[in-house]
Structure 1
Amino acid sequence: MKHAAAASRKFRNAAHLAQAHTGPLLPGGFFVTDPARISDARAVIARLPDGIGVIIRHFGQADAMQQAFDIVSDCQIAGRIVLIGADPDLAFETGADGVHWPFRLRGDLRRMKPDPGLLHTLSVHSSTELRAARAYPVNALIYSTVFPSVSPSAGHPIGLSRFAAAAARSPVPLYALGGITSANAEKAALFGGFASVSAFEALL
């Protein structure tokens, strides 16, 4: 319990610090769900400190899509920003705040009719994708991989200094993804936001 309380305090402090970069419409950090890696996302969400939003990724799984309604409801009750991964229809049906797009689906984002009421974020994985992302109407970018990570999808980490330089050049808030922990979230928050799939399990 002491470890969970300490992690919660660190994530709360990091989210507060990141808010200077992410602005009033976006949270300082994001918990990113993954049905294959996080068995009970709602339990994690129930423990999230203030200032942490949620990105729901269902990967086409029917159970996860159905659970999205419950997660959105939980977030709305808690006053927490919640986005749906790559599924604007589900975002509309659940009443989520917006959509998170993988870079490979950026064309779908471009073809969407603008809706000023929805937030849009986009994943990027390299300096080339970061530059290309300037052409898309997004509120923020999520950049990976920043810190060393054991995730199967993680690339070579760019490190904090390169993330800081990218955040300084980015026209929209930049979130660090990959290898985020309660110990380094505040470091990322000095320059932008932070996001993670597994780090928030430390709150349980």
Structure 2
Amino acid sequence: MSGFPPAQIIPPQVLLGAYAQGVFPMADQGELTWFSPLMRGIIPLDGGFHVPHGLRRVMKKQPFTVKWDSDFRGTMQGCANRDRTWIDTTILESYCLLHRLGYAHSVECHDEEGLQGGLYGVALGRAFFGESMFSRKTDASKIALVALVEELRARGFILLDTQWLTDHLRRLGGQEIPRDEYQRRLKVAVGDQGSSFHPPVLGPE
């Protein structure tokens, strides 16, 4: 579905309002398009998430220091650094503004050489909308995802939206649900926030 023309910044209320309705933007060659997939990818937060044994062994070695929101822009730039990306300047600046307002968050894996991988997304109510992830070193994005799931469970979140379901996410326990079922879960997770939104607490205090 086509929506607003590309702009320097998508107004925060427009962006948050879209998420509250199950819609998210992507950019492609200067065009900004809004999506609401017929089948929606999610990671269950009620026990369906699976951490493979090999990844558990890696995590015991603690190859990375996991940080929250210490380099949000760098995490987005890492996600955008690929042959074809939907993260253009408008997307980058719009989500960096959401981050400054407390709605967008990054989970990052660092080592002595710097940022090696992570993910970012938007938190609204008790829903987290995962946007993208990247790795410069093996398993960095997976470890960030494990940290995100653990934090969302601890905070009482009930919906982790992955937009589409990749084979990688499916192996970790991701599922696809129809749009009407997603909308039902979304309404419960976002709740009634009236005409204004309030950023939820997320990340270590």
- TM-score scaled by structure 2? 0.30
Structure 1 length-normalised TM: 0.30
Select the structure that is richer in helix.
Answer: 1
**Structure with more strand by fraction:** 2
